[in-house]
Amino acid sequence: ARKHKVCVIGSGNWGTTVAKLVAENTGEHPELFERDVQMWVYEEQVELDGQKHKLTEVINTRHENVKYLGGITLPPNVIANPSLQDTVKDASIIIFNFPHEFISNICKQLQGHVLPYARGISCIKGVTVTDDKIELICEYIGETLGIYCGALSGANIASEIANEEWCETTIAYNVPEGDVQTATTTTTTTTTTTTNGTSSPATNGTAKTPPSKTTLVPVPQTYVPLDHTTISSLFSRPYFTVSMVSDVVGVSLGGALKNIVALACGFVEGNGWNQTAKTAVMRRGMLEIIAFARAFFPDAIDPKTLWEESAGWGDMIVSCTSARNWRYSKMAVERGVSVQEIERTELNGQKLQGISTTREVASFLRAKGVEEQYPLFMAVDGILDQKVKVEDIPKLFRK
């Protein structure tokens, strides 16, 4: 059967880490995948040994992304590519992994250049909002490119996974009808695939994929079947355990909205409060995530995902105790400057997704006229605007 060609769009801290792990797998599974993984790099100059170099050239010669994942050797089959169109050429599996604010610009440039039957996996944590309309990133990709796109999200700190420290993740993927001859997975079936590729029924099989507005071109039958087992083989590593589910909404919203809560936790801790205050914020934050998902994706969410999967409480806990949004919002309060200022001065080009996600979600809630039902989300927006004080958070919850 024809092998899948895999590419990664994005090469930040997580983009490069995911390129590394999938390239390890394409190297180990020549029966399923072509060996080389093209990785699109937003080209920039980096200074090395006193001289300026193109980042793509540095990655392809040193096999290290010195700017976004320094100190980690990449497999030689990760090929940095500055051209978006060339990166996706002939790729049947496209992994999207860049800060969500660049989604519309990147998708515009990809339109008309992806295979009509390509399939996507979005590792991006965020949402897209226009006025009173909200969309999951994977839905947006699917609609603008006319392909099906699933979502990967979990309690995943890139630097730890790049160092091959064990963790787990969740991939939501509904095999489109017609992609595999005897489809074992439908829009309502869930399987859990372990690292060794065995599948078993999973518990959260009630979620439905939002109806696609696009008519999908099936993956030709000449290819290796593109099902849960193949996708799991692409991402699972001995240090990266994958759980396959069907709840695209739960996986996507868990990853996007916890970044707002992580900012709140950083604010509270930076203010000198302790773990109990932070726990209250996490609990309230999760309730707002569940309420949000039920209100705006009522037929699609499976609440079990948020309780049971890495993409739910798992991601909430790690994000509020050790990830960037928490770390740098805490630093901002400690230094008495804005988080936006800290992002500019301390992150060396990396992005805090919580800032734009808070903005987008707050503007969406205002457009819907329901902001008072989400006091924590709105408080974070107010703190970013310096209109709300961190000390005022407890008052928001007084009855």
Active site residues: 258
Distance CA 301, CA 93 (A): 25
Cα-based distances in Å from 64 to 69, 74, 348, 359, 398: 7, 6, 16, 34, 51
Q: Is 145 a binder of ligand NAD (CB under 6 A)?
A: no
71: left (phi over 0), alpha (psi -120 to 50) or beta: left
- Nearest approach, Cβ of 156 to ligand 13P (angstroms)? 4
Alpha-carbon torsion (245, 151, 306, 249), positive or negative:
negative
- Site size with ligand NAD, rule: CB under 6 A: 24
- Site size with ligand 13P, rule: CB under 6 A: 12
Shortest CA distance to 172 belongs to which of 118, 137, 122? 122
Distance CA 68, CA 14 (A): 9
Q: Is 267 a binder of ligand NAD (CB under 6 A)?
A: no
Task: Tally DSSP H helices, then E strands, for the chain.
Answer: 16, 14
Q: Is 40 a binder of ligand NAD (CB under 6 A)?
A: no
Shortest CA distance to 202 belongs to which of 214, 188, 216? 188
- Nearest approach, Cβ of 165 to ligand NAD (angstroms)? 12
Q: Is 349 a binder of ligand NAD (CB under 6 A)?
A: yes
* Closer residue to ligand 13P in complex, CB, 14/148: 14
Under rule CB under 6 A, which residues in 142-171 are in contact with ligand 13P?
155-157
Under rule CB under 6 A, which residues in 339-398 are in contact with ligand 13P?
353
Q: Is 319 a binder of ligand 13P (CB under 6 A)?
A: yes
Write the interaction track for ligand NAD spanning residues 95-114; mark x where CB under 6 A is met and - where it is not. Answer: --xxxx-x------------
Cβ(144)–Cβ(168) below 8 Å: no
Q: Which does 262 bind (CB under 5 to 8 A by kind): ligand NAD, ligand 13P, none?
A: ligand 13P
What DSSP line would sit under 74-102, residue for residue?
PPTTEEEES-HHHHHTT-SEEEE-S-GGG
Contact stretch for ligand 13P (CB under 6 A) within 133-141, 185-193, 199-207, 312-320: 312-320
Q: Which does 170 bind (CB under 5 to 8 A by kind): ligand 13P, ligand NAD, none?
A: none
Under rule CB under 6 A, which residues in 249-288 are in contact with ligand 13P?
262
Binding site for ligand NAD (CB under 6 A): 10-15, 42, 68, 97-100, 102, 123-126, 156-158, 349-351, 353
